[in-house]
Amino acid sequence: MPLGIYIEYQPRPGCRERLIDRLREEAESCIRDDDGCLRMEVAVPETGDDPRVLLIELWRDRAALNAHSAKPGHSHAWQDALVESKRVSACTVLASPEPVR
């Protein structure tokens, strides 16, 4: 069953744009290089005064996420300088239908 990872970041003052840029790079890398990464989205609230940044991940299964985490050099340490706090939720995805075009 697919696994969703939902991360809500509270960036440090003055670091929001750098955090967004770095998360975009990470998302593109995961989609391109990690087998089992089905989706990786970087999002921000519509209201301009809300500084949060969200990362929404969809993985084929726990094994795919574990393989991603075990890659040599994988680390979230770079976030320490940019992030004041973050909240992570791992969820079993019950439905993720393809969009109708």
3-class SS string, the chain = CCEEEEEEEEECCCCHHHHHHHHHHHHHHHHHHCCCEEEEEEECCCCCCCCCEEEEEEECCHHHHHHHHCCCCCCCHHHHHCEEEEEEEEEECCCCCCCCC
Give 72's pLDDT tier (boundaries 50, 70, 90): confident
Specify the higher pLDDT residue, 74 or 25: 25
CATH topology for 3-92 is Alpha-Beta Plaits (3.30.70)
Is the pLDDT confidence value at 48 over 80? no
Quote the pTM value: 0.90
